[in-house]
Amino acid sequence: MIAILGAGKMGEALLSGVLRAGRRPAQLAVTVRRADRGALLRERYGVTVLSNAEAAKTADTLVIAVKPQDMASLLEELNPHVPAGRLVISMAAGIPTAFIEARLPDGVPVVRVMSNTPVHVDEAMSVVSAGSHADEAHLALTEELLSPVGKVLRIPESLQDGATALSGSGPAYFYYLVEAMVDAGILLGMPRAAALEMVVQSAVGAAVMLRDSGEHPVLLREAVTSPGGTTIAAIRELERHGVRAAVLEAIEAARNRGRELAEG
């Protein structure tokens, strides 16, 4: 049995994804902090709602999906109940595997994961790293769990905070750009709904080309950018306003914030 501890936004998204992938509700359990949340998940998915202690005792795999700030108290609650042989998978930003290992019984294998919200549509980017007691089999089990909801990549744990900044938070940056482009449409006098449709379809088309054409993004952009044309006029403004430098600094700031999260 797989238990998702702290089934909030990411936990529920993963739960629904693994059910879509064919696991039966009887193979899954969740833990929650509020009874009404548990009732909703039981009704929506037919899964069992357990206490954290019950989940630690009975599930083979514990997927921890609480906020980083709630990690220490959850691990303290779990510690007396985690028998040898349990696999612990953490989805929390910024929490090193060593932080978890230090708070659980000796030798418990821990795999750290950073996924993102496109789990909802089976298009997640998940990156995984083994802690000091996790081996190939534990990584393979984690990949088996995550691959139905998107791509999975193994990375060294030293790159996890960077991956959190890049792909964990990544969808937010694209949504932000979409918002800004829709505002531009409003500025140009478009109805909001029409502007949104134009921008979203452009984003979807660009994303599919990025994924499926095999072309580098620079070549794809150059193909849109006609000599003396409209696109280069926009690109000049983006460069003048330092958008590329802002992106570099923004993602570095997200990486740095990730490094602070284990401090509470």
Ligand X SMILES: O=C(O)[C@@H]1CCC=N1
Number of residues engaging ligand X in binding (CB under 6 A): 4
Q: Confirm or reject binding of residue 115 to ligand X (CB under 6 A).
A: no
**Residue 11 touches ligand X, criterion: CB under 6 A:** no
Residue where the block lists tokens 């833990």: 31
What's the closest the beta carbon of residue 248 comes to ligand X, in angstroms?
18
Nearest residue relative to ligand NDP (C-beta): 8
The torsion angles phi and psi of 47, rounded to 5 degrees, stand at -90, 160
* Beta pairing, strands 124-130 & 87-90: unpaired
The stretch among 118-126, 163-171, 183-191, 232-240 that binds ligand X (CB under 6 A) is: 163-171
Give 8 or 185: the residue with its C-beta nearer to ligand X: 8
SS3 breakdown of the chain: % helix, strand, coil, rounded to 5?
60, 15, 25
CB under 5 to 8 A by kind: which of ligand NDP, ligand X, none does 32 bind? ligand NDP
CB of 210 to ligand NDP, least distance (A): 21
- Token digits of residue 260: 């602070």
Least distance (Å) between residue 61 CB and ligand NDP: 16
Residues in contact with ligand NDP by the rule CB under 6 A: 5-6, 8-11, 31-34, 37, 52, 65-68, 70, 74, 91-93, 114-117, 168
Contacts of 67 (CB under 8 A, 6+ apart): 6, 8, 92
- In the bound state with ligand NDP, the residue whose beta carbon lies nearer, of 126 and 130, is 126
First and final CA of the chain: distance in angstroms?
Answer: 30
Identify the sign of the CA torsion 249, 250, 251, 256.
Answer: positive
Strand order from edge to edge, sheet including 48-49? 48-49, 28-31, 2-5, 61-64, 87-90, 110-114, 124-130, 150-154
Q: Is the dihedral of CA 21, 22, 24, 27 positive or negative?
A: negative
Which of the stretches 46-54, 140-148, 164-172, 180-188 binds ligand X when contact is defined by CB under 6 A? 164-172
Of 161-169, 178-186, 213-221, 226-234, the window that binds ligand X (rule: CB under 6 A) is 161-169
Q: Which is nearer to ligand X, 97 or 164 (CB)?
A: 164
Whether the CB-CB separation of 7 and 15 falls below 8 Å is answered with: yes
Q: Using the rule CB under 6 A, is 6 a contact of ligand X?
A: no
Restricted to residues 76-95, the positions that interact with ligand X (CB under 6 A) are 93
Report what 52 binds from ligand NDP, ligand X, none; CB cut-off 5-8 Å by kind. ligand NDP
100 binds ligand X (CB under 6 A): no
Contacts to ligand X from residues 173-202, by CB under 6 A:
none
Distances (CA, A) of 73 to 179, 218, 234: 37, 46, 50
Can you give the binding site for ligand X, defined by CB under 6 A? 93, 164, 168-169
